[in-house]
A and B are shown apart, each in its own frame.
Chain A
Amino acid sequence: MAMITFERVAKIYPKDVVGVQEASLKIEPGEFVSIVGQSGCGKTTMAKLIIAEERPTQGRVIIGDWDITDIKQRDIPTLRRQIGVVFQDFKLLPRKTVFENVAFALEVSGASPQQIQSTVPQVLKIVGLETKQDRFPQQLSGGEQQRVVIARSLVHRPKILVADEPTGNLDSINAQEIIDLLKRINSFGTTIVLVTHNREIVNTLRKRVITLDHGRIIADQKSGKYIL
């Protein structure tokens, strides 16, 4: 069973602005997939459809065996705990420490204090920030901040990690470190969906590449390159 399935999905915004159209694809468990294309081609729309931040206008979106096309509002939190999300703009709480930012994801979903105390150090170790857990976001570099976000997205042990331009605000060294971290997480069995327009990263990854143009999938290569 595929981990993510898009069946002839279209997302049309008001005033007939096309987000995605006629998009069909299957992403298998444990795959590392890059979705590439120029700005406005529909990459982020695809990421938003996966986390149910957007609903498709047509077609079906299925996560595992769960058809989330018409997902109810009350079921969205359950879905979001199965999908980790990383954005370009970090989305960290500035008045909370690294530990508290990561713990926040567990707190709001009702985890016990014991669970929080045991899980947070584990994920901070995975991202290599175990020694910086008492620092505040502004005391960290961009790469480190993104690693905190990745740690936060891992606390629910998600089956899927959607990273939307995670290296957009980083220099090439920090960007490569984040990609290496994503590869490492992928090696544990987590399906990674990387949305990016960074040609260099896509070309060095040598993983599956789905290319979008004007909302349509124009290429889907098993071990592809940035073709635009």
Chain B
Amino acid sequence: MARIIAGMGTSHVPGLGAAMDNGKTGEPYWQPLFKGLEPVRAWHKDNIPDVTIIVYNDHATSYSLDNYSTFTMGVAEEFMPADEGWGPRQVPMVMGHPELAWHITENLILNEFDMAVAGSLDVDHGLTVPLSVAYDQPDVWPTKVIPLCVNVIQYPQPTPLRCYKLGQAIRRAVESFPEDLSVGIWGTGGMSHQLGGERAGVLNPEFDTAFMNNLVSDPAANTRLTHTDFIREAGCEGIEMIMWNVMRGALSDNVNEIYRFYHIPVSATAYGAIILENTD
């Protein structure tokens, strides 16, 4: 059977990808961030799964006000890096895993998670920056990818509890896949940041630290947060962290924390990364 081996949470700030694409990672502004990512990359090098489910959001790239689903599964053979207004990132094509993607989708819908299905989807920085975080700059991404796109921009976003339950249902679906596959799951976005409005630039390290602590030892606490808790405490765009709940829901009750890194700032965002291994 297929098995989820580990989860990662990581911010997906576009500036991080741009710094890599433009060869700026050695600059003083970026150096501490990329230094902190070295253990992330070392772990990923030794733990490449056959398939990675990347829970991310689209930023007015492939979806917008005319049609935005709450949860969308990418079932295509491949996904192109998108032009989001400044030309596509020069990163490898993202290869899908349609068999597992469809298996999960069918299981989820039959278990009352009504997923939208995308057979053609250009993926923006929300998905490609986490790949760059984990794997640096390879010629080919070493894992196949199932994009799971979540609406985190248009209110009301799915509740933090719904996201967690979706993760639990994904785990059951993966474990019912007959082929022997190792599967990773990443929750992306966050951590605290607010990009718009008079309050732009607000960060909240206390909130972020508590969120990561809960992720490890009390994930239910992160499901009790409300939309307004995120907007108020983590900034309007900090609500992206609900996607980390999907990742956590797909892991075992007890997890081993392998690595954690937190750095301020990346652009206007608090950067966070955490790797959690399943214990069963």
A binds B: no
Residue ranges of A at the interface with B (Cβ–Cβ < 8 Å): none
B positions within 8 Å CB-CB of A: none
